[in-house]
Structure 1
């Protein structure tokens, strides 16, 4: 574990923000030490999840996937940030229960080729796991189910979409959050004693997200120029998704036309052949 001041500089955490989080460096060090003892288990759980539910990409209705466990430094940075931003919600977070509060220790990304493919995956994942509103977690400590064999969807599935995006989501089956530039579907699943976060997006959306996270988020969010360039790239990725949908629609329509024309051609040829046979029959008589 690195020294405190070096950690704060690396993750661009101001001293006043660290103080506002109300968590000691000793407790963070203890969390890091404990996390080091379970990270291997979490990686194995993630692998087991993708092998069981995502390996057959056609069945899942996705293009591809990847998974990871949360990096130790990013875990501590997130704890500091969450304790500062939402002190009441994360007040009880500590070394004995941090895995009940941090829902992305195991993170899985699934990718679609077309934005409309979300429906297939949503129906697949919500049929593979219980999706009962009464089981959604509200209090991280009180509502945590200690039964490792009970696997279920722990929060209502949600989608973040950008204003102006095509209205392809159904608010009756998924919570819709609008207003930002972030695009992604989110599922939190309780699996083998821990939470697994699934983020689902198109390949174009993933391209923008990776660039944004590498350059802007979360350490350069106040840089106006970088933020503006990221928004521009975000709009371009949205346009690329729209164009992809148009391409697929055109392909389907052309294939439908070809089927109709083929049937018409076959019918016409059959009628012509029947007429020729009738004519030949008359001549033989």
Structure 2
């Protein structure tokens, strides 16, 4: 059983946040208990997906991967936050349907050495799963396919990038969203009755994201000093990715014309 005071303190929330979200502690407790009863199933589905589609990293076009099920406190915090931000959309969420609203109960991350390698994974995952816009979610309840055997891409694949980043994404294949610090590919897959989220990013981007989520997001995103430091680290990771791409380009040029000096290749 989750302790209310501990939860509020850990998630940097107050009673006023529950009031603003118009959700009771009893409702949250019911969702928590149902989720805890299903975590073994979610772990099984995550492992099954990885074994079937991700384990062979060369086939998937990635450097490495990892997967997890959502932290139960993070689940409750997300429901509160979503209800505060858009009550009309999340008004009817409860213990019997939260899995239709929350698409990252199972999370998989795939990593690339170079940003440009995103296209290999994109082609792979869209060849493995049906990517029909008619299946994309608009209404979380109405559009949920109750057939557990129908596995498909449930939202248009998207990528978040910073303004000024190198233009490496094809907007005809993936939705490109610009602004903020965040960099990541996102795929929502309907998999045997539940959604799972795949995020794709470079190793440098993952390093920044892990530190940002550990310190800033979501509980201290209004802290000016912490967000400023996170922004600095984000810019450094972006520069590291740019340099990595240049390294590879120089290597390719050298292999094409091994007798020329580097200054003549640039």
TM-score by length of 1: 0.89
Q: Which whole-Å deviations, capped at 9, do the CAs of 1:133-184 have from their partners, x for residues lacking one?
A: 0110100000000111100000000000001100100111100110110000
TM-score by length of 2: 0.96
For the 8 Å contact 2:2–2:29, the answer to whether it is kept is no
Counterpart for residue 35 of structure 2: 35
Deviation at 1:35? 0.8
Deviation at 1:229? 0.8
Structure 2 distance, partners of 1:148, 1:2, is: 30
Structure 1 distance, partners of 2:26, 2:227, is: 35
Q: Which whole-Å deviations, capped at 9, do the CAs of 1:49-105 have from their partners, x for residues lacking one?
A: 000000110011100000000011111111111111110110110011000000000
Structure 2 distance, partners of 1:94, 1:241, is: 42
Structure 2 distance, partners of 1:259, 1:54, is: 40
Helix, strand or coil for the counterpart of 1:89? helix
Aligned length: 260
Please, which runs of 5 or more residues in structure 1 have no aligned partner?
Answer: 261-285
Structure 1 distance, partners of 2:74, 2:187, is: 20
Please, which runs of 5 or more residues in structure 2 have no aligned partner?
Answer: 261-266
Structure 1 distance, partners of 2:3, 2:59, is: 47
Deviation at 1:259? 9.0
Greater mean alpha carbon deviation, residues 21-30 or residues 1-10: 1-10
Structure 2 distance, partners of 1:54, 1:10, is: 33
What CA RMSD, in Å, does the superposition of the two structures yield over aligned residues?
Answer: 1.1
Helix, strand or coil for the counterpart of 1:88? helix
For the 8 Å contact 2:100–2:140, the answer to whether it is kept is yes
Counterpart for residue 54 of structure 1: 54
Q: Which whole-Å deviations, capped at 9, do the CAs of 1:213-248 have from their partners, x for residues lacking one?
A: 111111111221111111011000000000000000
Q: Which has the larger radius of gyration?
A: 1
Q: After TM superposition, which residue ranges in structure 1, 4 or more long, deviate above 3 angstroms?
A: none
